[in-house]
A and B are shown apart, each in its own frame.
Chain A
Amino acid sequence: MLKIKDLHVKLEEEDKQILKGVDLDVKAGEVHAIMGPNGSGKSTLSYVLSGRDGYEVTQGAATLEGEDVLEMEPEERAAAGLFLAFQYPVEIPGVGNMTFLRTALNAQRKARGEDEVSAADFLKLIRAKAKELKIDADMLKRPVNVGFSGGEKKRNEILQMALLEPKMCILDETDSGLDVDAMKLVAGGVNALRDAGRAFLVITHYQRLLDHIVPDFVHIMANGRIVKTGGADLALEVERNGYADILNEVA
């Protein structure tokens, strides 16, 4: 599904190398987790994959189902099935959440040559999805993420994911700032989407999310590289001993 080879990324404006050779092979049906200390480059990886400005790929490649994603516009990546649940979802005053969701869904469908969803069908669809995530009508009516609590913003990200049904889902610290109940809701949303044709890259700081979304692989990222890869038990090791031991071990 997603293949990343020797990816090197620096900041466009500064001479600062952030990713220093990342390799990753995520197959359909798999869940990969990336853990690592703050500042190791996890969010940068997610932004570069989704096409945010400000980064320059100096070496390496990334493909989604064989297509070079790094060459695509952000909207083309979305239409191709890539989705990023933001670490910090953006507030957009003046744009209603419903309008936003419907515009996004129809834009993607249009890009793929599919029919647009009618207003009535959309309403049915979004109500059903929102209910599962305990998102009330008021949150749908309000401007995108404006006045949402931290937890509401994260649930709104998962709602978008559930609606858009992407193939490759990247979640950047979707668990941060969530209480246990909210985390269960979010994990439930993710698990409901797990299937053989879809893959997940779950970036997290803590092991607790991985109790609910059990990964096939866990990668440890440090200083712009993946320094260790293991199974779900690697996350437990991090939880017990912190990153220091692992980082020393690979150094």
Chain B
Amino acid sequence: MALPQVKSDATEARVAALAMPDGAAWAQTARTEALARLRAMGLPARRDEYWKYTRPDTLTDAAAPPAATFDPRETPVFDTLDRIKIVFVDGVFDAEASDDILALKLKGIAIVRLSDAERFDLHWSKDIYGVLEARGQNPVERPLAALNTAFATDGIMIHVKEKIDKPINLIYLHKSDRSDAILHHCIKLEQGADLTVLESGPAAARFNKVMEVEVADGAAFHHVRVQGRDHERRAATHMFARLGAESTFKSFTLTKNGVLTRNECVVEFTGDNAVAHVAGACVGDGDFHHDDTVFVTHDAVNCESRQVFKKVLRNGATGVFQGKILVQPGAQKTDGYQISQALLLDDDAQFFAKPELEIYADDVQCSHGSTSGAIDEDALFYLRSRGVPDGQAQDLLVLAFLAEAVDEIEDPAIAEDIVSRLEAWLARHRG
């Protein structure tokens, strides 16, 4: 099927601005195939159903719109945790600023930069790089992810064979107001392995990121992300996860500010008795557009999936949620849960939700709900009547609203850090 001319023109214009890095045959094949996928799909356009609530133009334009850098003047998130730091500045790995991975002599984990992995004729990441992304293109197309696979300029490949106690923190610094970063990470957890990955920072003026995660039988992957406070940045991120039997996958994202954020998460259960939770809390004031798009496919027995997304919006901020649970034939005993809620702090804020269930097995339990509403005035009065000042009482109620999402973070120290960021944001943005 031929693409409409405008779409193919827009795609070619974007592609023309990019260059495919050199590498071994497997990497070249992965990238060339991704480019072919991209050309067949075309970049997303305004009329595409999957982009009904989010305008893709600034994400697909040949040049990135500039975004001023921003000094948050606060201790960076996760700073007090004992962690392994891997730093990218405007999408380029910064060895100086990062921990020396080789010197750390960590047992059970191997970390290598994408460009180094691509030089090997054989590398474990060849079974993941672009492979999970390609699987995630069906039944819904994700062209920005294919573009990423074809043209990613940097990224980190993490191979884990054991339980790793220290989290790995991918730190993204934004220093140039014209940076246009494309990062691609692959993470492979072998049987019984256990890893926590933290991501923090705004990355670039425009950021396209893919993370592919293979979680083998009995392995556990935890992910906590804080997208930076830069107001003008734009980001399109994809997470593709394939889960083996009895594995665990838990991802939480906090987003504060950002004119445009689209976070897609695609999870596929391939082994029985696995668990996947995807959660997000976002707070937006003014020129803020935040889109969570999630697709969970149950293709195994007795798996549990939870999607918990909460958005706090004011002053024209917009929230979007598109979430789907697909239960394939034979995926009996599926336990699927999905909730998306917006707290609209004034009449100008907007929330669009498209929750979907598609079920082809008969013995399953799936529920979903979506609401948007204002602060509960009765609760507010109750708190104030006990002496809690108006602003503080509102903050308490906002945090209470976000609690179900924040509670998805298992590590108490990380959860505490996240809550303190939310408190600080709320204190700065009182109505």
B and A form one assembly: yes
Which residues on A are within 8 Å of B, measured CB to CB?
50-53, 73-75, 77-79, 83-84, 86, 89-95, 99-100, 103-105, 107-108, 111, 143-144, 160, 164
In chain B, residues 378-393, which have Cβ atoms closer than 8 Å to a Cβ of chain A?
A: 378-379, 381-390, 392-393
Minimum Cβ distance to chain A for residue B337 (Å): 17
B354-391 vs A, Cβ < 8 Å mask (1 yes, 0 no) = 00000000000000000000001111011111111110
Give the distance in Å from the alpha carbon of A89 to the alpha carbon of B396 in the complex.
Answer: 17
Chain B residues near A160: list those with CB within 8 A.
386
Minimum Cβ distance to chain B for residue A227 (Å): 28
Minimum Cβ distance to chain B for residue A164 (Å): 7
Is there an interface contact between A108 and B387, defined as CB atoms closer than 8 Å?
A: yes
Does B97 count as interface, using CB distance less than 8 angstroms? no
Minimum Cβ distance to chain A for residue B417 (Å): 18
Interface contacts beyond A75-B393, A90-B381: sample of 6 additional A-B pairs, CB < 8 Å, sorted by A: A73-B390, A92-B397, A94-B401, A100-B396, A104-B386, A107-B388
Is there an interface contact between B392 and A74, defined as CB atoms closer than 8 Å?
A: no
Minimum Cβ distance to chain B for residue A50 (Å): 5
Is there an interface contact between A74 and B377, defined as CB atoms closer than 8 Å?
A: no
Please name 13 pairs of A and B residues whose Cβ atoms are closer than 8 Å in the assembled complex, sorted by A. A51-B385, A52-B385, A53-B377, A75-B393, A90-B378, A91-B379, A94-B403, A100-B383, A103-B396, A104-B386, A107-B386, A108-B386, A143-B400
Chain A residues near B390: list those with CB within 8 A.
73, 75
Closest to B399 in A: A94
Is there an interface contact between B400 and A93, defined as CB atoms closer than 8 Å?
A: yes
Query: Number of residues in B with C-beta < 8 Å to the partner?
Result: 23
In chain B, residues 327-374, which have Cβ atoms closer than 8 Å to a Cβ of chain A?
A: none
Give the distance in Å from the alpha carbon of A92 to the alpha carbon of B377 in the complex.
Answer: 11
Q: Closest 10 interchain pairs by CB?
A: A94-B400, A78-B387, A108-B387, A104-B386, A74-B384, A90-B382, A94-B403, A95-B400, A107-B387, A92-B379
Minimum Cβ distance to chain A for residue B104 (Å): 37
Is there an interface contact between A103 and B388, defined as CB atoms closer than 8 Å?
A: yes
Minimum Cβ distance to chain A for residue B228 (Å): 26
Closest to B381 in A: A52
Minimum Cβ distance to chain B for residue A26 (Å): 19
Given A79-B387, A103-B388; A74-B381 close (CB under 8 Å): yes
Chain A residues near B388: list those with CB within 8 A.
75, 103-104, 107
Is there an interface contact between A111 and B387, defined as CB atoms closer than 8 Å?
A: yes
Minimum Cβ distance to chain B for residue A56 (Å): 16
Does B94 count as interface, using CB distance less than 8 angstroms? no
Given A95-B400, A100-B383; A107-B378 close (CB under 8 Å): no
Minimum Cβ distance to chain A for residue B87 (Å): 36
Does B404 count as interface, using CB distance less than 8 angstroms? yes
Give the distance in Å from the alpha carbon of A99 to the alpha carbon of B383 in the complex.
Answer: 11
Q: Indicate which residue in A51, A86, A100, A164 contacts B384 across the interface (CB closer than 8 Å).
A: A51
Give the distance in Å from the alpha carbon of A93 to the alpha carbon of B376 in the complex.
Answer: 11
Minimum Cβ distance to chain B for residue A217 (Å): 25
Give the distance in Å from the alpha carbon of A228 to the alpha carbon of B386 in the complex.
Answer: 32
Is there an interface contact between A107 and B392, defined as CB atoms closer than 8 Å?
A: yes
Give the distance in Å from the alpha carbon of A103 to the alpha carbon of B394 in the complex.
Answer: 13
Q: Which of A73, A84, A107 has the most CB of B within 10 A?
A: A107
Minimum Cβ distance to chain A for residue B421 (Å): 18
Chain B residues near A79: list those with CB within 8 A.
387
Give the distance in Å from the alpha carbon of A90 to the alpha carbon of B379 in the complex.
Answer: 6
Given A92-B397, A92-B400, A93-B400; A75-B387 close (CB under 8 Å): yes
Give the distance in Å from the alpha carbon of A75 to the alpha carbon of B380 in the complex.
Answer: 11
Given A92-B379, A95-B400; A73-B384 close (CB under 8 Å): yes
Minimum Cβ distance to chain B for residue A79 (Å): 5
Is there an interface contact between A95 and B385, defined as CB atoms closer than 8 Å?
A: no
Q: Indicate which residue in B379, B387, B393, B399 contacts A164 across the interface (CB closer than 8 Å).
A: B387
Give the distance in Å from the alpha carbon of A92 to the alpha carbon of B397 in the complex.
Answer: 8
Chain B residues near A92: list those with CB within 8 A.
376, 379, 382-383, 397, 400
Chain B residues near A108: list those with CB within 8 A.
386-387
Minimum Cβ distance to chain A for residue B259 (Å): 29
Is there an interface contact between A95 and B392, defined as CB atoms closer than 8 Å?
A: no
Q: Which of B388, B392, B397 has the most CB of A within 10 A?
A: B388
Q: Which of A50, A91, A94, A143 has the most CB of B within 10 A?
A: A94
Chain A residues near B387: list those with CB within 8 A.
75, 78-79, 104-105, 107-108, 111, 164
Chain A residues near B379: list those with CB within 8 A.
90-92
Chain B residues near A51: list those with CB within 8 A.
381, 384-385
Minimum Cβ distance to chain B for residue A41 (Å): 19
Give the distance in Å from the alpha carbon of A106 to the alpha carbon of B392 in the complex.
Answer: 12
Give the distance in Å from the alpha carbon of A89 to the alpha carbon of B379 in the complex.
Answer: 9
Give the distance in Å from the alpha carbon of A144 to the alpha carbon of B401 in the complex.
Answer: 14
Chain A residues near B397: list those with CB within 8 A.
92, 94-95
Chain B residues near A107: list those with CB within 8 A.
386-389, 392
Is there an interface contact between B377 and A50, defined as CB atoms closer than 8 Å?
A: no
Chain B residues near A90: list those with CB within 8 A.
376, 378-379, 381-382
Q: Which of A95, A111, A144 has the most CB of B within 10 A?
A: A95
Give the distance in Å from the alpha carbon of A92 to the alpha carbon of B396 in the complex.
Answer: 10
Chain B residues near A144: list those with CB within 8 A.
382
Closest to B386 in A: A104
Q: Indicate which residue in B385, B396, B400, B404 contacts A74 across the interface (CB closer than 8 Å).
A: B385
Is there an interface contact between B386 and A86, defined as CB atoms closer than 8 Å?
A: no
Chain A residues near B401: list those with CB within 8 A.
94
Give the distance in Å from the alpha carbon of A180 to the alpha carbon of B295 in the complex.
Answer: 55
